[in-house]
Structure 1
Amino acid sequence: MVVKFMRNETAEAAAEDESTRNELPTPPRQVLDRHGARVLDPATAVLAAGQPVPRTTVYRPGVFLLPDRYLRDSETLAAINGVLARIGIYAEPADRGGDTKELARVRQLEDVPVRALLRVREDADPVVVDCWKALQLLRSAAAGERPEIDPEIVARISPEHLLFTTPVFGGVPWETSGLGGTPWETSGFGAGSSYGRTRGANRIPVTLAADPPHRSEKPRHRRPVVAVLDTGIGPHPWFGLADRSGPPPAGAGLAVAPDIQAAILQAELDSGTTLPTQLLTDYWDAPSTGQPLIGDVDTDTGHGLFIAGIIRQACPEADTLAIRVVHSDGVAYEGDVLLALHLLADRVRTAQAEDRPEDMVDIVSLSLGYYEENAADVAYTGQFAAAIAELLGLGVLVVAAAGNDATTRRFYPAAFADQPLGDGCGPQVISVGALNPDVTASKALFSNEGPWVRCWATGAGVVSTYPVDVRGTATADHQVPDRDRNSFDPDDYSAGFAVWDGTSFAAPLAAAEIAKALGPFEAELATVDRDTVVKRAWTALGSL
């Protein structure tokens, strides 16, 4: 496998391809309905005076994201609701009845965004609850020489986007090969695409005739830790997990964070009574199918364990900390991801302050993202920028996949790679595009690219670990029962491995290479004060 770290690209690549700016197909309706989401359509979106025409994105219309301190301040909340009353709605905090200790602590931090639920006023006529319309009204009220509401407050309010690991809007060879059944799987390249797999998915089960990569039993100091925010974990012998009865054993190279997982679940429960929400109940990647009456393995089942296996192969000495923020259909809620990032930063900050190297995280690997609706996107990504900047300021390296939509449109958080998010901190976001697994290491046809993509790694034809207990309803096309002969079963993963394509898998490969670069400084890994961690991050990246 190949990893290429690159400096700035040529000026010719700086301009975004106009053909990718807005005209993008939408995700399947069943995905939108499942998560209470809506596509922002530039042709029909309401606009406040002076506001730019938005670009296509996916968001949850019944909720805002804004810093918790605004919801706790009665005057600020009253000012917001005074404006929203004009369209018959109001905002209120999600229920706080069951806050975990971690959730309560992180909510006290100034920049941590939380969900505010939008409800219809009792004295209002029937209305369509839409946070985009509400946000336009607030921006209009904050404009002019005598604003009705503080513009700085309104600037910190945003929709809650859906983030995706799989292709968001189509345009990807394996999703357009005619092999699938949904609208975004049947519209383009035609059958026989070189990325095409079976039953509309871009993965197939395989057997790997190799021993697990060797890990030292007792490292001399501390192992590098890569936090993976993804679909969670499943059973696999490489990580000492025979089933789903308990967490990974100590020393297996895979760990979970029950405290962070509990905080994410509680934040979902707070808003789930009125907002369509799929709950992430724990760190296990489940269910394996989102359509039980059909039984097909869901699009992203096994995604997180696959990534853990890539890290295990490329840097066996590293530990993977798996945090589940992605559903098995490849969807993550922006509020969940932001909360996980802030909780990780809080964990690292405490580890540095209390000299607890066992709680350190060195790298965060993100194989997910979204497209910002505002053309001036740099100015409207403050929630994510603040969360990422907090980690960078502590010296944590952040690696993010560039996306799989074959577009130059900026995909966040990877697109932060060319935007300075803080002074005196560690390296900026490392964005990763996908290469093909050939001797020329050409760019994969599905990969996003642009001047904001600073690293390229093998992301097509990747083989890695897959949960051994996943098996769908597909069967072999041809069977000869009396001779015990079958053709290939396309969704029986009991052998524990799969081949898969995506920038989702290029990003953790780059993260693993960085983790290896931390190896020569293994003695220093036990030292976790901020200055040392920042210096170590720069040295490791510089060596690559």
Structure 2
Amino acid sequence: MKISFIRKDGPGGTDVDSTERLRVPSELLDRHQGRVLDPGAEVASGWPAPRPTAYRPRVLLIPDDVLRDEARVGVIRQVLNGAGLDVDAPEAGSGSTPRPVLLRPLAGQRDDVDSWSALQKLRAAADDDGIDLDHDVVGRISLEHLLFSAVTITGTPWDTNADSVDGSYRRSPSGTSRVPVSLCAHPPHRGEVGTEQFARRPVIAVLDSGIGPHPWFGIPDRTAPPPPGGFISVLDEAQDAIRRNAAIDSASPVQSLTDYWDVPAESDKLIPHVDSNTGHGTFIAGLIRQAAPRADVLAIRVMHSDGIAYGSDIIAALEAISRRVERAQEQNRPEDMVDVVSLSLGYLDETPADAAYTTHLAAVVSRLTEQGVLVLAASGNHSTSRRFYPAALAELPDAPGAGPGVISVGALNPNTTKALFSNDGAWVTCWATGAGVVSTYPTDVSGPRQAPTGDEDRSGLDPDDFRSGFAVWDGTSFATPLAAAAVANALIDVAASDTGLSLANVHQETVVKRAWAALERCYEQYPV
């Protein structure tokens, strides 16, 4: 395994292919009622021309504090009514978390709802002196982006380098780089906790497709949650918030993420294939178990098994993690601390200045880094320099008094060259092996494809029978948890070498110092 951490050196430069179109498969868009924004779409005066992005056309994200203000909601509704639309606003919470708000046509209007067009109406109204709509408020209302997992070949909805990438990394007849393998190894020993040098296991939060059964994790099947005190735990608070998000549109055909189990999306196919991202979260957990066995994983299911996640669900999960960290720090509860967040997904934003002006996602990520949580995000698999968020937030300057900013991770081949599929640019601040990696896979996944057979007890390799519990896969999705594991190991090491940075101490100031010390150790241990 090869890892390199790169010190920040100013802004990441400019994109060179900002107008490329996104070739998102229609099946994915149809399943999630999504749409790709055309760069030629209408734009309100004074706002930047859009770039291609994928979004949910029936949903806008509106912060809770705006939804609590009845007068503001009334003006927003008035503007939208003028465009033949109305909003079904959910009950607002007590903070400023953005909530998905459903747009619907007024009676007698065409059912051609487009949240981008609605957003432009609101932006134009904010510049109208005759309408009492604050420009800053409208600036905090946004599209709900579709985020995509960072695996290559399948799970990646568009591909700018198809010939070289597909031919090089495809292994299975299904066209995926994922293939079952056997691993002749026991799970790495976890080490004993309780000494002054190793007072607590660092926790890596994995926001992904959830978990599946595997003996390495003490999960024999899907009948019970992960065992208490085991390697994997779950965060019900986050899953509850994601369920509330899904409740805004009970008539939607999109399958809701009801819990933490990695299950296939419902399909009308008579012979459904193994979804492109089935097992993604379990695979990532296994990489962390191999590379940082002394750490724990907090698994949160935010992504569907076809590799699609919704922006509001990502934000809700990160908000839940931040609240948990806040409780840990204010109530001195080390057992509630989350030290690292690993994100193997992202999106291409419609606004060139996203790193400077995006509101919701950047805000919650900044809150986490202020708390001292180390956030790592995949750079994406589009063979492009165009910024992939949240990874590209790595180019933002570190905030005074906060921990390190986002660490964006690109993928290396086993021979340490950069993988053809990996995004690249000065905004990528870490590189780790992400091609040809082997890890855990749910033991109950077996698809319809059949291996060629010979005699009754002889056959070829079945490409989608994963009962062995292991697979090989490619993507910046998998480089990211390996880098997160290196950071977790560094946290243990710096805590062991400096009693003032003990993992038992979760005071915010100490957590921030420990995070910086761990990253500095990574710079020294994993140079470019």
Partners of 2:219 and 2:50 lie apart in 1 by 46
Letter in 2 for 1:32: L
Distance 1:458 1:115, change over 3 A: same
Which whole-Å deviations, capped at 9, do the CAs of 1:127-162 have from their partners, x for residues lacking one? 521110011111111126776410010000000001
Aligned-partner SS, 2:169: coil
Identical residues among aligned pairs (%): 52
The question of 1:373 aligning with 2:359 is answered no
Does structure 2 conserve the Cα–Cα contact (< 8 Å) formed by 1:288 and 1:301? no
Distance in structure 2 (CA, Å) of the matches to 1:302 and 1:155 = 37
How far does residue 383 in structure 1 lie from its aligned partner after superposition?
0.8
2:492 match: secondary structure: helix
Q: Is the 8 A contact 1:261 1:283 kept in 2?
A: yes
Determine if contact 1:236/1:467 at 8 Å carries over to the other structure: yes
- Structure 2 unaligned residues grouped into runs of 5+: 523-528
Q: Is the 8 A contact 2:179 2:472 kept in 1?
A: yes
Q: Deviations over 1:97-156 (max 9, x none)?
A: xxxxxxx8xx3123x11112212223x532521110011111111126776410010000
Deviations 1:307-341 (A, max 9, x none): 00111111100000000000100000110110010
Q: By how many angstroms is 1:184 displaced?
A: 5.3
Task: Provide the C-alpha distance between the structure 2 equivalents of 1:285 and 1:72, rounded to a whole number of angstroms.
Answer: 35
Cα distance in structure 2, aligned partners of 1:192 and 1:332: 24
Q: Quick one: structure 1 residues 457 and 58, their matched pair in 2 at CA, closer, same or farther if it must change by over 3 Å?
A: same
**Deviation of the 1:23 alpha carbon:** 2.1
Provide structure 1 residue ranges, at least 5 long, that are not aligned to the other structure. 97-103
| Aligned equivalent of 1:232 | 210
* Aligned residue number for residue 112 of structure 2: 128
Whole-Å separation in 2 of the counterparts to 1:147 and 1:5 = 50
Which residue of structure 1 aligns with residue 466 of structure 2? Answer: 493
Q: Verify the 8 A CA contact 2:161 2:421 in the aligned structure 1.
A: no
Aligned equivalents of 1:493 and 1:329: distance in 2?
17
Please state whether the residue corresponding to 1:433 is helix, strand or coil.
strand
Number of the residue aligned with 2:525: none
How far did 1:468 drift?
0.6
Partner of 1:99: none
Q: Name the amino acid aligned to 2:487.
A: I
SS in 2 for 1:511: helix
- TM superposition shift of 1:163: 0.5
Say whether 1:508 aligns with 2:481.
yes
Residue from 358, 364, 371 that aligns with 1:387? 364
Give runs of aligned pairs for residues 320-359 of structure 1, distance below 5 A: 320-359=297-336
- How far residue 193 of structure 1 moved from its aligned partner, in angstroms, is 1.6
| Contact kept? 1:417, 1:453, Cα under 8 Å | yes
Equivalent in the alignment of 1:159:
143
1:535 — aligned with what? 513
| CA distance in 2 between partners of 1:51 and 1:195 (Å) | 41
* One-letter identity of the residue aligned with 2:32: H
CA distance in structure 1 between the aligned counterparts of 2:162 and 2:430, rounded to whole angstroms: 28
CA separation of 1:264/1:305 partners in 2, compared to 1, >3 Å: closer, same or farther? same
CA distance in 1, matches of 2:340, 2:486: 11
Paired residue for 2:29?
A: 32
Is this contact kept in 1: 2:160–2:384, CA < 8 A? no
Mark the CA change 1:443 to 1:77 in structure 2 (over 3 Å): closer, same or farther: same
On the 8 A contact 2:398/2:404 being kept in 1, the answer is no
> Are 2:101 and 1:116 equivalent residues in the alignment?
yes
Distance 2:115 2:157 in 1: 26
CA deviation map 1:178-203 (0-9, x unaligned): xx9x9958994179722112111111
User: Aligned equivalents of 1:184 and 1:26: distance in 2?
Assistant: 5
TM-score between both structures, scaled by the size of structure 1: 0.90
Q: CA deviation at 1:86?
A: 1.6
| 1:197 has 2:174 as partner | no
1:187–1:413: structure 2 CA closer, same or farther, 3 Å change rule?
Answer: closer
CA distance in 2, matches of 1:22, 1:503: 23
Greater Cα shift, 244-253 or 311-320? 244-253
**Equivalent runs, 1:92-491 vs 2, <5 Å:** 92-94=88-90, 96=91, 107-110=93-96, 112-122=97-107, 125-126=109-110, 128-143=112-127, 148-166=132-150, 174=153, 188-189=162-163, 193-198=167-172, 199-220=174-195, 221-269=199-247, 271-287=248-264, 290=267, 292-420=269-397, 422-438=399-415, 441-476=416-451, 478-482=452-456, 484-491=457-464
* Displacement of 1:46: 1.8
Alpha-carbon RMSD: 2.3
Contact 1:290 1:298 in 2 (8 A): no
The alignment partner of 1:395 has SS state of coil
CA distance in 2 between counterparts of 1:204 and 1:302 reads 12
